[in-house]
Copies of this chain bind each other. A is one copy, B any other.
């Protein structure tokens, strides 16, 4: 391959293109990047000279700059390169911080209660040199954003995966159960109640939680509109409210306390699709041995959990 003009290409060129595409103006792009308008103008001129094609359409006057066909195509590559560069930066930062023996993992409440303790116990025993840093959040999307930024190496996640530069592994399927007051007539049925029977009762649920959205989506698809009388972010609160007779609750099995005598737990036997819990990581980032080991441990622990789902 010839040593052509492409070696003169600079990252600033690509960042400038992206900034202009976002802002629609050389001047605003310059402000955002901390350059002068003249500098941006020259950078783009240089970039166009390198690729040999006009990348931006300057209509003149106060009208916004638009991308040409070539500009759009190049911009997609530029964004991919920038993303890869950010991944590299995150990897270097992790290495600089001495992360060879550290895994930063994102969790959320319903996974924290049952999976994490056993997983950490086994992982610590089998990998004593690895430090695990947990970050718990109410908002799964925030966890994913942290993975994207490189602030986390892994995060638990309710599958399926949304689009993005991610890879995932499925850990376990967690079926939904119906939690009712211990003296509820629903608890004495021979068969699991139908969705219709369930939605006739007032419901207690969670806030802003992907598992709950999953339930609501399925109810809506079945033509049922749930009647929520209370929402909380805390599993114990939800279960306490059910025990107190405020309502009933559709909860993932892993989130319920099966030893609570004030409630009865009813297997829905497939009336609702189970939620699928997995681990997600950034596809472009370096997969450290410590992270790999953590994923393997998680898979092992969860397959144990799945085989003995209702251990007292």
Contact = CB atoms under 8 A, between A and B. Distances in A.
A229 interface: no
A52 interface: yes
Contacts of A89: 6, 51
A88 B50 CA distance: 12
Contacts of A15: 7
A33 interface: yes
Contacts of A286: 73, 76
A175 B172 CA distance: 40
B92 A53 contact: yes
Interface of A: 3, 6-7, 9-12, 15, 33-34, 51-53, 69-70, 73-74, 76-78, 80-81, 84-85, 87-89, 91-92, 95-96, 100, 284, 286
Contacts of A84: 77, 80-81, 84
A8 to B, nearest CB: 8
A292 to B, nearest CB: 14
Contacts of A85: 6, 9, 77, 81
Secondary structure class of chain A's binding surface, majority of residues: helix
A53 B6 contact: no
Given A95-B53, A95-B70, A284 B77 contact: yes
A74 B52 contact: no
Contacts of A76: 286
18 contacts: A9-B11, A51-B89, A51-B92, A52-B96, A53-B96, A69-B95, A69-B100, A73-B92, A74-B88, A74-B91, A76-B286, A77-B87, A77-B91, A78-B88, A80-B84, A80-B284, A81-B84, A81-B85
* In the complex, the 10 A-B pairs of residues with the closest C-beta atoms, listed nearest first: A77-B88, A73-B286, A51-B92, A70-B95, A73-B91, A81-B81, A80-B84, A81-B84, A52-B96, A9-B11
A53 B80 CA distance: 24
A12 B7 CA distance: 6
Contacts of A12: 7
A77 B93 CA distance: 14
Contacts of A3: 33-34
A56 B78 CA distance: 28
A290 to B, nearest CB: 13
Nearest to A286: B73
A19 B32 CA distance: 35
Nearest to A86: B1
Given A7-B12, A85-B81, A74 B100 contact: no
A92 B80 contact: no
